[in-house]
């Protein structure tokens, strides 16, 4: 009889051990996803790495497009117009037959942005590498430009500081003041007018960064929608999951 109870006890221990092992397996599975609520098998780290890869790919492609000849000048989505703060100058100059000079000045603004974009890649990629993403899953499940918007929110100020010297070099290279100074000097000599002298470097810097973010957003949208646009394995895995709204 004692032997019988011993066998039963041993069986109970084995069964309990199996249950514990199953429970541990479930715990490990849960740890692998780090409670992200994501597709089983996707970790928080994988999601964040995929988002960063998408932003770096978007940055590289965008800076190549923007830095090409007419990358800004002939792209209506990002073309830099005459400074709004000096619109009275533009109206006055056109009225007195200086439309050609206005057109050339606007072209030069965009040439400066195109030139500056050549040095933007490293600055933007460094920002992507060093930024922290708190909730990658919500970005993955969000709108088509959620990662780009996150980068814009977190990094615009430091990007502006780092990018402005690049813009200044670009505006000097394309001789922007050669086209601007004659216009603004003539206008500021007019009686009963407040002098206008916008910071052209800052204006080009702000508009160039804004234009690059628009292009990066377009690249992110491609990655979310088109599997062919996903250049790395981690992007294929993460953006190919059901957590990407385009896959549902």
Q: Which domain holds residue 187?
A: 44-247
Is residue 48, in this structure, part of any structural domain at all? yes
Of the candidates 119, 111, 105, the residue with the CA atom closest to the CA atom of residue 165 = 119
Cβ-Cβ contacts under 8 Å for 45 (sequence gap 6 or more):
34
Is residue 131, in this structure, part of any structural domain at all? yes
In whole angstroms, what is the distance from residue 12 CA to residue 18 CA? Answer: 10
Tokens of 55: 């932003």
Is residue 2, in this structure, part of any structural domain at all? no
Is residue 11, in this structure, part of any structural domain at all? no
Is residue 25, in this structure, part of any structural domain at all? no
User: What is the number of structural domains in the chain?
Assistant: 1
Per-residue pLDDT of the chain (248 residues; tens, 9 = 90+): 444 444 334 444 343 444 434 433 443 344 344 445 566 779 999 999 999 999 999 999 999 999 999 999 999 999 999 999 999 999 999 999 999 999 999 999 999 999 999 999 889 989 998 888 888 999 999 999 999 999 999 889 998 999 999 999 999 999 999 999 999 999 999 998 888 889 999 999 999 999 999 999 999 999 999 999 999 999 999 999 999 999 98
Is residue 20, in this structure, part of any structural domain at all? no
CB hemisphere CA count around 161 (13 angstroms): 4
Q: What's the pTM value of the predicted model, to 2 decimals?
A: 0.81
Is residue 17, in this structure, part of any structural domain at all? no
Kindly state the helix (H) or strand (E) to which residue 180 belongs, with its residue range: helix 176-188
Tokens of 131: 């930024």
Is residue 3, in this structure, part of any structural domain at all? no
């Amino acid at each position: 009889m004692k032997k019988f109870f011993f066998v039963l006890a041993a069986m109970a221990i084995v069964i309990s051990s199996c249950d514990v092992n199953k429970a541990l397996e479930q715990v490990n599975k849960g740890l692998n996803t780090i409670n992200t609520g994501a597709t089983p098998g996707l970790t928080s780290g994988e999601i964040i790495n995929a988002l960063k890869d998408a932003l770096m790919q978007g940055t590289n492609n965008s800076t190549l497009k923007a830095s090409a000849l007419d990358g800004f000048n002939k792209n209506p989505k990002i073309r830099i117009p005459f400074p709004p703060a000096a619109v009275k100058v533009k109206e006055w100059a056109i009225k007195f037959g200086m439309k050609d000079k206005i057109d050339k000045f606007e072209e030069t603004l965009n040439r400066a942005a195109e030139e500056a974009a050549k040095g933007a890649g490293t600055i933007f990629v460094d920002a992507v590498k060093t930024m922290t993403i708190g909730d990658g899953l919500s970005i993955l499940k969000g709108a088509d430009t959620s990662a780009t918007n996150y980068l814009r929110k977190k990094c615009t100020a430091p990007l502006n500081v780092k990018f402005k010297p690049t813009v200044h070099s670009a505006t000097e290279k394309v001789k922007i003041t050669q086209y601007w100074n004659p216009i603004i000097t003539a206008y500021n000599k007019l009686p009963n007018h407040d002098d206008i002298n916008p910071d052209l470097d800052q204006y080009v810097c702000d508009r160039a960064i804004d234009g690059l973010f628009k292009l990066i957003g377009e690249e992110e949208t491609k990655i979310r929608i088109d599997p062919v646009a996903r250049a790395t394995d981690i992007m294929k895995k993460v953006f190919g999951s059901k957590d990407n709204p385009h896959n549902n």
